[in-house]
Structure 1
Amino acid sequence: MTQKIWHSLPEYQALRAVMESGTTAKAAIRLGLSQSAVSRSITSLESRTGRILFERDGGRLVPTDEAAQLNRRLDSLFDALIAIDGPTTPARETLRLTAPPTYAHRFLVAHITSFLKANPHYFISMEVSPSDEVIRGILEGRFDLGVSGVELSRDGVRLTPYRRASAVCVMPTDHPLAGKATIRPQDLHGEPLITLTHRHARRAQLDQVFLAARSQPRLVAEVSTSCAAVDLARAGLGLAVVNPFPVYHYRSNDVVFRAFDCDLTYRSYFVTHDNRPLPAIARAFMRHLRLHTPNDPFSQKA
């Protein structure tokens, strides 16, 4: 006989309240219950699910990974309850968004525009930050959602894969190598090259690619963003090896992108806090990006 599965809304409400407030006392005030009632709900939920959801640390309840995972799965339930019990006119929700310059200026601006036109009751506040500041801002709770192409793993931060891409070589349309479908590292021996600065991990990886191929390009400039590297290539300063996403979508007619024969793989991520509920507007914007990101020859859905 199949065991009947039952659910308790008060238990789920207690879980979310404690996750957001950090103590049963604050959760009790938020829910209008006694502290003991909140504690009983948490204990009952742990007993029913067979999971340890919180660990005590200096008077605070620290959520376990199991609690964070369960809390994320409850997002759709609470969204549905808000839709049922909430006002008929949607409240003006705000998405606090952060991203590095290339993503912000060359990609997100257009998608923010289409998203807000389709959802006029939403509001977006975007801050342009270096990738490490994107991670720090999410971790400190200053932002709801980040977009980044750097794999900076931190406790408390969740990286959700969004796009995957292979390296490309960018050059003016009239460059002698533009006629090749794929550029090899050996093809760039002696060629003027524009690279990212050494603070980028990809710079060291690209240097290793050229070293292994015994190829020595002539370095002419270092820049902090892929966008700047492509602009310098467009101006005829040299070639650049970059992550094609998202700069490929905003290329001009006077540069070409060619596959670069190496093992460099680039990933773009949605950055969220691992232990805080993701606002409905953040999930909506993530869906919007996934649905409306155009296809290109060099990147795919992750």
Structure 2
Amino acid sequence: MKLRQIEAFRAVMQAGSTTGAAEELHTSQSNVSRLITQLEADTRLVLFERSGGRLSPKPEAKALFREVERVFVGLKSLAYAADSIRNLGSGRLRIASIPGIGMSFLPRVVQRFRQSRPDVTVSIHTNTSNTVEEWVSSQFCDVGIVAFVSAAATCQAIALPDAEVVCLLPKGHRLAGKSRMKATDLRGEQYISLVHGDGSREETDRVFDQEGVERVLSFEAQYSATCCEMVKLGLGVTLAHPLVATDYVGQGIKVLPFSPSINYPNFLLYPPHGAASQLAEEFAALLRDQFEREIVSWQ
């Protein structure tokens, strides 16, 4: 198959006739018919019923046309990428993150980034730390944020400031008047926890066990943001990353420092071998600045 044959076939399918296809391709009707005949010979497919000089597409033509359209969509994407490379300040940036940071903090960084790079398309992908690491290592994503870095990591990893966990409770809660929440204060409280298998869940459970505090574990959720939404509805209390808690300040939730201290580590990931793009470097610089600002505001 030759590209000219495919172009002629696509034009016939779109125009509905060889005459319309010829006009679209700025060629003769006979040339279009010849290209279609060559395509049928090369593919060994009978694509059209011929009647009175007209071509009626058979099911095989419709099936081939669907595949051709997928290819042309890919070509359009390549053209867009070429334009992006030519024009500094436009392009696509893919960011990978663990869910808590990706669902709350990252949109605020994107908002700042948009001010200087209004033409850049930004994609945020959320998953576990291991998957984020894989995405950045393979350069599917340009930059990432994780809670831990594996021993086998090939990414460049930069430690971000540790974040101390905070306690969220409904404003009308009996403990809302405190200036600091202690683990012992939550004895017997309805507690909204992250699901088992989350590293921060394990650390939180360990602290409460060490303090000899039994909570009423009535609710669990996969994402910290979901836990906070449940607190807002008065279903219980929870502990969360301060950058997640930021979204809930002033929404019927009281946020208090917590002791004993529980630190959430975070790391910024770049692709291996210095492969970070200029856009990724710019976004990462904003991310680090925003991260440090917001963490300091909770201290």
TM-score, normalization by structure 1:
0.64
Residue 109 and residue 295 in structure 1: after superposition, are their counterparts in 2 closer, same or farther (change >3 A)?
closer
Give the superposition deviation at 1:220: 1.0
Partner in structure 2 of residue 269 of structure 1: 267
Identity %: 22
**Paired AA for residue 253 in structure 1:** Q
Give the superposition deviation at 1:227: 0.7
CA contact 2:99–2:223 (8 Å) conserved in 1: yes
CA contact 1:167–1:262 (8 Å) conserved in 2: no
Distance (Å, rounded) in 1 between the aligned partners of 2:89 and 2:167: 46
Give the superposition deviation at 1:96: 1.8
Partner in structure 2 of residue 90 of structure 1: 88
Secondary structure at the residue paired with 1:179? coil
Partner in structure 1 of residue 279 of structure 2: 281
**Paired AA for residue 294 in structure 2:** N
Gaps of 5+ in 1: 1-85
CA contact 2:136–2:142 (8 Å) conserved in 1: yes
Partner in structure 2 of residue 295 of structure 1: 294
Partner in structure 1 of residue 41 of structure 2: none
Give the superposition deviation at 1:150: 3.8
Partner in structure 2 of residue 66 of structure 1: none
Taking the TM superposition and a 5 Å limit, the aligned residue runs for 1:123-162 are: 123-162=121-160
CA contact 1:163–1:299 (8 Å) conserved in 2: no
Partner in structure 2 of residue 9 of structure 1: none
Aligned residue among 149, 171, 174 for 2:172: 174
Partner in structure 1 of residue 229 of structure 2: 231
Q: Which protein is richer in helix relative to its size?
A: 2
Distance (Å, rounded) in 2 between the aligned partners of 1:159 and 1:197: 27
**Paired AA for residue 158 in structure 1:** Q
Deviation beyond 4 Å, 4+ runs, structure 1: 296-300
Residue 224 and residue 189 in structure 1: after superposition, are their counterparts in 2 closer, same or farther (change >3 A)?
same
Partner in structure 2 of residue 116 of structure 1: 114
Distance (Å, rounded) in 2 between the aligned partners of 1:110 and 1:160: 20
Q: Which moved more, 1:204-213 or 1:147-156?
A: 147-156
Secondary structure at the residue paired with 1:210? helix
Give the superposition deviation at 1:297: 6.1
Gaps of 5+ in 2: 1-84
CA RMSD of aligned residues (A): 2.4
Partner in structure 1 of residue 185 of structure 2: 187
Q: What's the CA shift string for 1:163-200, capped at 9, x where partnerless?
A: 32111111001111111111111111111111111111
Look at both structures and tell me which one has the larger radius of gyration over its CA atoms: 2
Q: Which moved more, 1:139-148 or 1:100-109?
A: 100-109
Distance (Å, rounded) in 2 between the aligned partners of 1:102 and 1:138: 18
Give the superposition deviation at 1:292: 4.1
Secondary structure at the residue paired with 1:112? helix
Distance (Å, rounded) in 1 between the aligned partners of 2:212 and 2:164: 21
Give the superposition deviation at 1:103: 2.0
**Paired AA for residue 268 in structure 1:** N
Q: Which moved more, 1:143-152 or 1:290-299?
A: 290-299
Give the superposition deviation at 1:296: 5.5
Aligned residues: 214
Residue 204 and residue 128 in structure 1: after superposition, are their counterparts in 2 closer, same or farther (change >3 A)?
closer
TM-score, normalization by structure 2:
0.65
